[in-house]
Amino acid sequence: MSSIDPMPGAVESMWRALKRGYVAEPALLVISFSLALLAALPDALYAVWLGLLGYGLIESNNTFVWIGAIGMGASATLTWTLRVVSDRTQRRFRDRVSIALESHVAQLQASVVSVELHERAEYLDRLAVLRDQVFTLDHMYMSIFSTAGWILRLGVTVTILVVIHPALLALILFAIPSLVSSLWRPGLERAVEEKNAPFDRLARHLFDLATMAPPGKEVRLTGVTRDLVERRRETWERWYRPVSRARYGSGIYQSIAWSIFGFGFVLAVVFVVYGLEAPAAQTLLLIGAGSRLAGYISATVGELGFLRGIWMDGSKRLAWLEDYAEEQLSEDTIDVPEAIEHKIEFKNVSFKYPGEDRYALKNVNITLKPGSVIAIVGENGAGKTTLVKLLARMYQPTEGQILVDGNDLTRFEPQAWRSRLAGAFQDFFRFELHAKTTVGIGDEPAMSNGDAVSSAVHRAGADDVVDQLKNGLETQLGPGWPEGVEVSFGQWQKLSLARGFMRTKPLLLLLDEPTAALDAETEYALFERYAQGIRRSEDDADGSASEGSITLLVSHRFSTVRMADQIIVLDGATLVEAGSHEELLALDGQYASLYETQAAAYR
């Protein structure tokens, strides 16, 4: 199985994420960063005022006592005030940039040409972590601001230590192990989490099965709740055990690293008191600065750990998704034709799904003529849906070409090509919106056009569905919403089919078992009316609505399939027969056998 591309480098990814935040909210980013640095200064100078206060008390010098006391009060007040202002500003920035980031990720995923991103396990594992992180990725900016503030505090504190004695810089050496362990620990834990992400995804899926409405009836009827809970617990343990071991092991190393720093701090105090025989005021300054140094290092290391772990990891995944989406873009494109004048031709087309060794389609050669209705039949796994995906440019052929009037399909810009397609699928999505919008999104420019939506509903035979809705097309679908109503699976499928009929002049209408939930008689009547409408429009003198359009129908029902102009029979990823219903029956091959088997069941 081929591996997916590695994620971009940490520094590059962080910089790209910062630029995206600046593009979204430039003024707020600069103000938030400046306030984070400004709020750090009074806190960092606290040790200085403590030293002056101690010196004044020891030497009975009221001037230093007043300076130290006022300085400490001012530092405390300014630290609190600036922190409140900084937090409020950063929260506003975070809220605004969060929407920008979530929209960016959604747009990236939607813009990717291939659906491989949603169907391949390796990508799903990587995206599962990103989807969790995108809602908190805005915290990365807060973490960067905080890290900059802690580093400024560290700089001031180190300067104070150097003033006492340059040798105290050695404390930084004792802090290196804790810094290294904090940078190493999150990466180790994140690698273990991603390696075991399939178990985490499965545990969440099992939880959804036990708690969500769609599977609720079957879960209760079959009594599998206890089994689901036990499986969920077992699966979660398979994810958590290695993650817990990694966290425990890395935690031991970090504890040892902090013990090393604590030992170094004790040596520094001994050095100042006994080695330098420094006055009490300098010792007090060392204790104040040194204790704050420990806190500042701890906070800096903690923020760096968050950056190195959650936030930096999130920015790397975001940068990877950006690169992946950009790689999918076509550079040398041509305009999509207004109509198909000659044919769509499959020339020796073979296809393997990424990471798979088995061909889903093998050496397929077919011709699709404009103005025709073409049916695809075959057993499950024969390659019917794969052929539809290739025509919709969800994937590109592994071998061979798909030609549209002689032009390679890959030369058309994917989104422009898809804007000229229409379709409905068996695995449709239930858009729980107002019925008008649920249907209308099939053609975004006409989404708010009531006449266009009503026409699509009529062509899909879904008038009865809309008539039963209490507010017609203005009814909210889905019982989980205010005034929302539940509709049956078959009704959802009719609305999905209406959505596919919103575009009235598509180059290609793809119908991949869109009426599987309907009875055979209803399906037959629906497609007979549709096929007759196409043939009538071809005879119109005004240049028909469907002229140059091809309808591709995938169905297991031969009563529907027989009305097609051409029937393509797939078996084992290869094309075995092609022709009209009468021609294939006369051939007495696989189609005839399948047809007779199904017809016998209705006798």
pLDDT tens per residue, range 327-351? 776 667 888 888 888 899 999 999 9
Torsion of CA 10, 11, 15, 17, to 10 degrees: 10
Using alpha carbons only, give the angle 583, 584, 585 rounded to the nearest 5 degrees: 95
Which band of pLDDT confidence, cut at 50, 70 and 90, is reported for residue 129? low
Which band of pLDDT confidence, cut at 50, 70 and 90, is reported for residue 321? confident
Q: What region does 348 belong to: left with phi over 0, alpha with psi -120 to 50, or beta?
A: left
Q: Where in the chain is the domain with CATH 1.20.1560.10?
A: 10-327
- Rounded Cα distance between 52 and 281, Å, is 8
Choice among 69-78, 313-322, 432-441, 525-534 with the minimum mean pLDDT: 525-534
Is residue 350 a contact partner of residue 402, using CB atoms and an 8 Å limit? no
Q: What is the per-residue pLDDT for 404?
A: 93
Q: What is the per-residue pLDDT for 475?
A: 93
pLDDT of residue 533 exceeding 70: no
Q: Which two tokens stand for residue 180?
A: 């290294």
Torsion of CA 546, 548, 552, 557, to 10 degrees: 50
Question: pLDDT tens-digit profile of 46-86?
Answer: 777 877 787 777 777 888 889 888 988 888 898 889 888 98
pLDDT of residue 545 exceeding 50: no
Q: Which of 13, 23, 28, 20 is nearest to 95 (CA)?
A: 28
Q: What is the per-residue pLDDT for 468?
A: 92
Q: Which two tokens stand for residue 212?
A: 């969500």
Cβ neighbourhood burial of 99 (10 Å; 0-12, 13-18, 19+): exposed
pLDDT of residue 536 exceeding 80: no
pLDDT of residue 318 exceeding 80: yes
pLDDT of residue 387 exceeding 90: yes
Mean pLDDT of 4-8: 75
Q: What is the per-residue pLDDT for 534?
A: 56
Torsion of CA 478, 484, 490, 496, to 10 degrees: -70
- Rounded Cα distance between 314 and 595, Å, is 54
Record: fold of 10-327? ABC transporter transmembrane region fold (1.20.1560)
- C-alpha to C-alpha distances, 206 to 131, 220, 427, nearest whole angstrom: 18, 14, 20
Q: What is the per-residue pLDDT for 348?
A: 94
DSSP states of 313-366: HHHHHHHHHHHHHHHT--SS-BPPPSS-SS-EEEEEEEEE-TT--SEEEEEEEE
Number of helices (H), then strands (E), in the chain: 23, 10
Q: Where in the chain is the domain with CATH 3.40.50.300?
A: 336-420+506-603
Using alpha carbons only, give the angle 306, 311, 315 rounded to the nearest 5 degrees: 155
CB-based contacts of 198, cutoff 8 Å, min separation 6: 121, 125
Is residue 62 a contact partner of residue 56, using CB atoms and an 8 Å limit? yes
pLDDT of residue 518 exceeding 70: no
Q: What is the per-residue pLDDT for 119?
A: 66
Choice among 198-202, 276-280, 576-580, 599-603 with the minimum mean pLDDT: 599-603
Choice among 204-208, 361-365, 403-407 with the minimum mean pLDDT: 204-208
Q: What is the per-residue pLDDT for 444?
A: 86
Question: pLDDT tens-digit profile of 484-511?
Answer: 898 888 888 889 889 988 988 889 988 8
pLDDT of residue 136 exceeding 70: no
- C-alpha to C-alpha distances, 269 to 52, 58, 257, nearest whole angstrom: 19, 19, 19
Q: What is the per-residue pLDDT for 187?
A: 72
Q: What is the per-residue pLDDT for 361?
A: 93
Q: Which two tokens stand for residue 536?
A: 């009538």
Name the CATH code of domain 336-420+506-603 (choices 3.40.50.300, 1.10.3720.10, 3.40.640.10, 3.30.70.141): 3.40.50.300
Q: What region does 483 belong to: left with phi over 0, alpha with psi -120 to 50, or beta?
A: left
Q: What is the per-residue pLDDT for 195?
A: 82
Residue with tokens 């630290």: 79
Instruction: Residue 131: count other Cβ atoms within 10 Å of its Cβ.
Output: 14
- How high is the mean pLDDT of the chain? 82
Which band of pLDDT confidence, cut at 50, 70 and 90, is reported for residue 543? very low
Q: What is the per-residue pLDDT for 72?
A: 85
Q: Which two tokens stand for residue 390?
A: 């290739």
Residue 577: CA count within 13 A, CB half-sphere:
21
- Rounded Cα distance between 299 and 293, Å, is 10
pLDDT of residue 413 exceeding 70: yes
- Rounded Cα distance between 358 and 121, Å, is 17
Q: What is the per-residue pLDDT for 473?
A: 92
Mean pLDDT of 126-141: 70
Helix (H, G, I), strand (E, B) or coil at 423: strand
Which band of pLDDT confidence, cut at 50, 70 and 90, is reported for residue 531? low
